[in-house]
Amino acid sequence: MTPLIIIPARMASTRLFGKPLADIHGKPMIIHVVERAIASQLGPVFVATDHQDIAEAVEKRGFNAVLTKEDHQSGSDRIYEALMKIDPKSQYDVIVNVQGDLPSLPSKNIVAALAPLQNVATDITTLGAVITKESEKINSNVVKIIGSPIGESRLRALYFTRAQAPYGPGPLYHHIGLYCYRRQALEKFVKLAPSALEKRERLEQLRALENGLRIDVEIIQTVPLGVDTAEDLDYARKLLAPSR
Protein backbone atom coordinates (compact mmCIF):
# COMPACT_ATOMS: atom_id res chain seq x y z
CA MET A 1 0.00 0.00 0.00
CA THR A 2 1.10 3.55 -0.78
CA PRO A 3 -0.84 5.88 1.55
CA LEU A 4 -1.45 9.61 1.25
CA ILE A 5 -2.87 11.50 4.24
CA ILE A 6 -5.28 14.37 3.56
CA ILE A 7 -6.76 16.48 6.36
CA PRO A 8 -9.94 18.37 5.41
CA ALA A 9 -10.30 21.74 7.17
CA ARG A 10 -12.99 24.34 6.57
CA MET A 11 -13.36 27.76 8.11
CA ALA A 12 -17.14 27.92 8.52
CA SER A 13 -17.73 25.31 11.22
CA THR A 14 -21.32 25.59 12.45
CA ARG A 15 -20.58 25.53 16.18
CA LEU A 16 -17.05 26.98 16.29
CA PHE A 17 -16.21 29.28 13.39
CA GLY A 18 -12.58 29.24 12.33
CA LYS A 19 -11.67 26.32 14.57
CA PRO A 20 -8.73 25.07 12.41
CA LEU A 21 -6.95 28.32 13.36
CA ALA A 22 -7.90 28.22 17.05
CA ASP A 23 -4.77 28.69 19.13
CA ILE A 24 -3.61 25.80 21.29
CA HIS A 25 -0.43 26.77 23.12
CA GLY A 26 0.97 28.93 20.34
CA LYS A 27 -0.05 26.77 17.38
CA PRO A 28 -3.25 26.62 15.36
CA MET A 29 -5.23 23.44 16.02
CA ILE A 30 -4.73 22.28 12.42
CA ILE A 31 -0.96 22.28 12.96
CA HIS A 32 -1.29 19.95 15.94
CA VAL A 33 -3.20 17.55 13.69
CA VAL A 34 -0.67 17.85 10.86
CA GLU A 35 2.22 17.08 13.20
CA ARG A 36 0.47 13.96 14.51
CA ALA A 37 -0.28 12.82 10.98
CA ILE A 38 3.36 13.29 9.97
CA ALA A 39 4.49 11.37 13.06
CA SER A 40 2.51 8.33 11.82
CA GLN A 41 5.11 8.05 9.02
CA LEU A 42 2.53 6.54 6.68
CA GLY A 43 3.11 8.92 3.81
CA PRO A 44 2.90 12.56 2.66
CA VAL A 45 0.46 14.84 4.52
CA PHE A 46 -1.67 17.59 2.96
CA VAL A 47 -4.34 19.89 4.36
CA ALA A 48 -7.33 20.36 2.04
CA THR A 49 -9.01 23.65 2.91
CA ASP A 50 -11.55 26.13 1.58
CA HIS A 51 -9.83 29.21 3.02
CA GLN A 52 -6.62 31.03 2.18
CA ASP A 53 -5.91 31.87 5.83
CA ILE A 54 -5.81 28.17 6.76
CA ALA A 55 -3.59 27.37 3.78
CA GLU A 56 -1.20 30.18 4.72
CA ALA A 57 -1.04 29.05 8.35
CA VAL A 58 -0.11 25.55 7.22
CA GLU A 59 2.43 26.61 4.59
CA LYS A 60 4.00 29.18 6.94
CA ARG A 61 5.19 26.26 9.05
CA GLY A 62 6.58 24.37 6.09
CA PHE A 63 3.66 21.95 5.61
CA ASN A 64 1.52 21.24 2.54
CA ALA A 65 -1.89 22.76 1.81
CA VAL A 66 -4.30 22.59 -1.13
CA LEU A 67 -7.13 25.07 -1.72
CA THR A 68 -10.50 23.48 -2.51
CA LYS A 69 -14.02 24.73 -3.22
CA GLU A 70 -16.13 26.15 -0.39
CA ASP A 71 -19.34 24.31 -1.24
CA HIS A 72 -18.38 20.68 -0.61
CA GLN A 73 -21.05 18.75 1.26
CA SER A 74 -18.61 16.44 3.04
CA GLY A 75 -14.98 15.94 3.94
CA SER A 76 -14.84 13.04 1.48
CA ASP A 77 -15.71 15.37 -1.40
CA ARG A 78 -13.08 17.84 -0.25
CA ILE A 79 -10.30 15.27 0.01
CA TYR A 80 -11.19 13.89 -3.42
CA GLU A 81 -10.83 17.32 -5.04
CA ALA A 82 -7.49 17.71 -3.26
CA LEU A 83 -6.40 14.25 -4.38
CA MET A 84 -7.02 15.12 -8.03
CA LYS A 85 -4.75 18.14 -7.63
CA ILE A 86 -2.04 16.39 -5.60
CA ASP A 87 -1.90 13.08 -7.44
CA PRO A 88 -3.50 13.16 -10.91
CA LYS A 89 -1.33 10.21 -12.04
CA SER A 90 -2.59 7.89 -9.27
CA GLN A 91 0.71 7.32 -7.51
CA TYR A 92 -1.08 6.75 -4.18
CA ASP A 93 -3.53 3.88 -3.80
CA VAL A 94 -4.75 4.49 -0.21
CA ILE A 95 -6.18 7.82 0.94
CA VAL A 96 -6.25 8.46 4.69
CA ASN A 97 -8.82 11.05 5.79
CA VAL A 98 -7.77 12.47 9.18
CA GLN A 99 -10.27 14.93 10.64
CA GLY A 100 -8.82 18.38 11.27
CA ASP A 101 -10.46 18.74 14.69
CA LEU A 102 -8.60 15.92 16.46
CA PRO A 103 -5.60 17.75 17.99
CA SER A 104 -4.89 15.03 20.56
CA LEU A 105 -5.16 12.09 18.14
CA PRO A 106 -2.35 9.59 18.84
CA SER A 107 -0.31 8.88 15.73
CA LYS A 108 -0.58 5.16 16.48
CA ASN A 109 -4.34 5.40 15.92
CA ILE A 110 -3.79 6.61 12.37
CA VAL A 111 -1.57 3.61 11.78
CA ALA A 112 -4.16 1.30 13.37
CA ALA A 113 -6.86 2.53 11.00
CA LEU A 114 -4.87 1.28 8.03
CA ALA A 115 -4.49 -2.29 9.30
CA PRO A 116 -7.83 -3.75 8.08
CA LEU A 117 -6.88 -2.93 4.47
CA GLN A 118 -4.56 -5.92 4.63
CA ASN A 119 -7.73 -7.81 3.70
CA VAL A 120 -8.07 -7.34 -0.06
CA ALA A 121 -11.87 -7.55 0.23
CA THR A 122 -12.03 -4.41 2.38
CA ASP A 123 -12.78 -1.10 0.62
CA ILE A 124 -12.80 1.39 3.49
CA THR A 125 -11.56 1.26 7.07
CA THR A 126 -12.33 3.33 10.14
CA LEU A 127 -11.96 3.30 13.94
CA GLY A 128 -14.17 2.52 16.91
CA ALA A 129 -13.95 2.24 20.69
CA VAL A 130 -16.13 0.63 23.36
CA ILE A 131 -18.56 3.09 24.93
CA THR A 132 -17.93 3.21 28.68
CA LYS A 133 -20.27 6.06 29.72
CA GLU A 134 -23.95 5.22 30.03
CA SER A 135 -24.90 8.75 28.94
CA GLU A 136 -23.15 8.26 25.60
CA LYS A 137 -25.19 5.17 24.80
CA ILE A 138 -28.33 7.28 24.42
CA ASN A 139 -26.61 10.39 23.03
CA SER A 140 -27.55 10.85 19.36
CA ASN A 141 -24.33 12.82 18.78
CA VAL A 142 -22.35 9.67 19.59
CA VAL A 143 -22.51 7.54 16.45
CA LYS A 144 -22.63 3.79 17.13
CA ILE A 145 -21.21 0.99 15.01
CA ILE A 146 -23.19 -2.19 14.48
CA GLY A 147 -20.74 -4.79 13.26
CA SER A 148 -19.89 -8.45 13.11
CA PRO A 149 -16.65 -9.41 14.92
CA ILE A 150 -13.94 -10.66 12.56
CA GLY A 151 -11.06 -10.68 15.05
CA GLU A 152 -10.11 -9.68 18.56
CA SER A 153 -10.06 -5.98 17.73
CA ARG A 154 -11.91 -5.77 14.43
CA LEU A 155 -15.48 -5.58 13.14
CA ARG A 156 -17.05 -5.74 9.73
CA ALA A 157 -19.46 -2.81 9.75
CA LEU A 158 -23.08 -3.68 9.02
CA TYR A 159 -24.63 -0.35 9.99
CA PHE A 160 -23.96 2.99 11.68
CA THR A 161 -26.62 4.70 13.78
CA ARG A 162 -27.32 7.53 16.19
CA ALA A 163 -29.66 5.26 18.14
CA GLN A 164 -28.71 3.01 21.05
CA ALA A 165 -27.90 -0.20 19.22
CA PRO A 166 -27.56 -3.12 18.90
CA TYR A 167 -30.08 -4.41 21.42
CA GLY A 168 -29.16 -6.94 24.10
CA PRO A 169 -26.12 -7.66 26.27
CA GLY A 170 -22.67 -6.78 24.97
CA PRO A 171 -20.58 -3.74 24.16
CA LEU A 172 -21.68 -0.72 22.16
CA TYR A 173 -19.06 0.87 19.92
CA HIS A 174 -18.43 4.58 19.43
CA HIS A 175 -17.53 5.42 15.83
CA ILE A 176 -14.43 7.58 15.38
CA GLY A 177 -14.56 9.40 12.06
CA LEU A 178 -11.13 8.69 10.61
CA TYR A 179 -11.21 6.80 7.29
CA CYS A 180 -8.80 4.98 5.02
CA TYR A 181 -10.07 4.50 1.46
CA ARG A 182 -8.73 2.39 -1.32
CA ARG A 183 -8.45 4.92 -4.10
CA GLN A 184 -11.04 3.20 -6.28
CA ALA A 185 -13.46 3.07 -3.34
CA LEU A 186 -13.14 6.81 -2.75
CA GLU A 187 -13.63 7.48 -6.47
CA LYS A 188 -16.80 5.36 -6.43
CA PHE A 189 -18.09 6.89 -3.21
CA VAL A 190 -17.91 10.55 -4.24
CA LYS A 191 -19.80 9.83 -7.46
CA LEU A 192 -22.74 8.24 -5.63
CA ALA A 193 -25.88 10.18 -4.80
CA PRO A 194 -26.79 10.52 -1.10
CA SER A 195 -28.63 7.38 -0.03
CA ALA A 196 -31.93 6.97 1.80
CA LEU A 197 -30.45 5.81 5.10
CA GLU A 198 -27.64 8.36 4.89
CA LYS A 199 -30.21 11.16 4.70
CA ARG A 200 -32.30 9.66 7.48
CA GLU A 201 -29.43 9.15 9.96
CA ARG A 202 -27.31 12.04 8.60
CA LEU A 203 -24.31 9.70 8.31
CA GLU A 204 -22.50 9.64 4.98
CA GLN A 205 -20.78 6.30 5.64
CA LEU A 206 -24.17 4.63 5.17
CA ARG A 207 -23.99 5.62 1.50
CA ALA A 208 -20.98 3.34 1.16
CA LEU A 209 -22.69 0.40 2.85
CA GLU A 210 -25.92 0.85 0.89
CA ASN A 211 -23.93 0.69 -2.34
CA GLY A 212 -22.02 -2.47 -1.52
CA LEU A 213 -18.72 -1.06 -0.28
CA ARG A 214 -17.20 -2.99 2.61
CA ILE A 215 -16.15 -1.06 5.72
CA ASP A 216 -14.02 -2.74 8.39
CA VAL A 217 -13.44 -1.19 11.81
CA GLU A 218 -10.33 -1.36 13.97
CA ILE A 219 -11.17 -1.12 17.67
CA ILE A 220 -8.87 1.11 19.72
CA GLN A 221 -8.79 1.74 23.47
CA THR A 222 -9.97 5.35 23.79
CA VAL A 223 -11.89 7.97 21.84
CA PRO A 224 -9.70 10.96 20.88
CA LEU A 225 -11.07 14.40 21.70
CA GLY A 226 -12.97 16.01 18.82
CA VAL A 227 -13.20 19.80 19.06
CA ASP A 228 -16.70 20.98 18.12
CA THR A 229 -17.43 23.66 20.72
CA ALA A 230 -15.68 26.34 22.75
CA GLU A 231 -15.84 23.99 25.75
CA ASP A 232 -14.09 21.27 23.74
CA LEU A 233 -11.39 23.77 22.78
CA ASP A 234 -10.81 24.70 26.42
CA TYR A 235 -10.47 21.03 27.29
CA ALA A 236 -8.03 20.48 24.40
CA ARG A 237 -5.86 23.30 25.75
CA LYS A 238 -5.79 21.63 29.16
CA LEU A 239 -5.11 18.22 27.64
CA LEU A 240 -2.24 19.47 25.52
CA ALA A 241 -0.72 21.83 28.07
CA PRO A 242 3.10 21.52 28.10
CA SER A 243 4.38 19.67 31.13
CA ARG A 244 6.45 21.79 33.51
Domain CATH code at residue 15: 3.90.550.10
**What is residue 164's predicted lDDT score, i.e. its pLDDT?**
97
Strand blocks (E) in the chain:
3-9, 23-24, 27-28, 45-49, 64-67, 94-97, 124-130, 144-151, 154-161, 173-182, 215-219
Band of pLDDT at residue 74, cut at 50, 70 and 90: confident
Are 10 and 94 contained in the same domain? yes
Q: What pTM did the predictor assign?
A: 0.94
Are 71 and 168 contained in the same domain? no
Are 2 and 88 contained in the same domain? yes
Q: Which domain holds residue 18?
A: 1-101
Which residues is 9 bridged to in the sheet?
49
Are 115 and 11 contained in the same domain? no
Q: What is the pLDDT of residues 115-156, one digit of tens each?
A: 999 999 999 999 999 999 999 999 999 999 999 999 989 999
The answer as to whether 167 is a domain residue is: yes
Count of domains in the chain?
2
The answer as to whether 230 is a domain residue is: no
The answer as to whether 232 is a domain residue is: no
Q: What is the pLDDT of residues 150-197, one digit of tens each?
A: 998 999 999 999 999 999 999 999 999 999 999 999 999 999 999 999
Q: What is the pLDDT of residues 3-38, one digit of tens each?
A: 999 999 988 777 778 899 999 999 999 999 999 999
Are 43 and 145 contained in the same domain? no
